[in-house]
Amino acid sequence: MDKYDELKSLIDTVDSDSEVGLYIVEYILENGKKIDGFLKKHKLDKLLYFPIGTIFYLVNIPDDARKETKRFKDNKFRSKYLKQTIALMHLKDDKELKKLLKIDEKDIDELLERNEILQALPKPKRYNDKTIFKEKLEHIFYILSKAGKGQTEQINIIMDLFQQEDFEDYKSGWTQARYDRIRKLYQEPAIKKMRSLYGK
């Protein structure tokens, strides 16, 4: 694997969108010591280096940038499948090309149906700067849970990260209200999603 492939693999690890992933990887590589220090402080596995690094990145960009990043990702996702749908419809109408490529029309119909489902996925009613946090923290809570970290410890780890990086009012330290905010806003939805996917 050459350096380009390594970088691409790294970018794909942090985000499904390569443009967003590039910014995150750049930040993580520039702030590696800080991220390593945080992992050591909480005795966290290196497996969390990039997921935790992503949260460090997100708390250090402006609120509007977080909100627009999520909107950009959603729009790009929908645009990708819309373009694919158009190409599939053209292919479906092109008998000669289907024959040359040995493509079964049933396969095209299945892809079109899948794309229709993906396009119909509900968009957030409104975007805010927390939407992308929810997406990224789901993965972290899952890894922490698999590593045997209890729910209280999971929340305290995220709280400490927010406090360390002077994020919003978390910079003032631990309070029950801030703890409950992380639990309700981020952890409980992550647990609900985990249970729906994995049954526990």
Residues 70-102: tens digit of each pLDDT: 776 776 667 777 778 888 888 888 888 878 888
Q: Is there a domain that residue 16 lies in?
A: no
Of the ranges 2-11, 60-69, 183-192, which is most confident? 183-192
Among 154, 153, 185, residue whose Cα is nearest residue 168: 185
Does any domain span residue 18?
Answer: no
Cα–Cα distance measured from residue 190 to residue 139, given in angstroms and rounded to the nearest whole number: 8
Does residue 152 form part of some domain?
yes
Cα(82)–Cα(35) distance, integer angstroms = 38
| pLDDT tier for residue 103 given thresholds of 50, 70 and 90 | confident
Give the pLDDT of residue 199: 65
Same domain, 45 and 141: yes
Residues 140 and 114 grouped into a single domain = no
Nearest-angstrom CA–CA distance, 61 and 59: 6
So what's the pLDDT on residue 102? 83
Q: Report whether pLDDT(110) > 90.
A: no
Write out the residue range of the structural domain in which residue 104 sits.
67-120
Choice among 71-75, 121-125, 173-177 with the minimum mean pLDDT: 121-125
Q: Is residue 44 part of a domain?
A: yes
Residues 71 and 55 in one domain: no
Q: Which residue has the tokens 């409104």?
A: 126
Is residue 200 pLDDT above 60, yes or no?
A: no
The two tokens of residue 83 are 């373009």
Look at residues 176, 182, 131, 140 and name the one whose alpha carbon lies nearest to residue 47.
140
**Residue 114 sits in the same domain as residue 73:** yes
Cα separation, 41 vs 12, whole angstroms:
27
Helix ranges (DSSP H) in 121-150: 131-146
Angle at 187 between CA 183 and CA 192, to 5 degrees: 125
pTM here is: 0.74
- The stretch 122-151 carries a mean pLDDT of 83
User: Do residue 107 and residue 151 come from a single domain?
Assistant: no
HSE-CB at 81 with a 13 A cutoff on CA atoms is: 16
Mean pLDDT of the chain: 85
User: How many structural domains is the chain composed of?
Assistant: 2
Residue 170 lies in a domain: yes
185 lies in some domain: yes
pLDDT(142) > 70: yes
The answer to whether residue 36 sits within a structural domain is yes
Q: Residue 48 in contact with residue 136, Cβ under 8 Å?
A: no
Q: What percent of the chain has pLDDT over 70?
A: 90
Please name the residue that has the structure tokens 């992380």. 182
- Please report which confidence band the pLDDT of residue 184 belongs to, taking 50, 70 and 90 as the band edges: very high
The residues, any chain, with a CB within 8 Å of residue 115's CB and separated by 6 or more, are 81, 82, 84, 85, 88
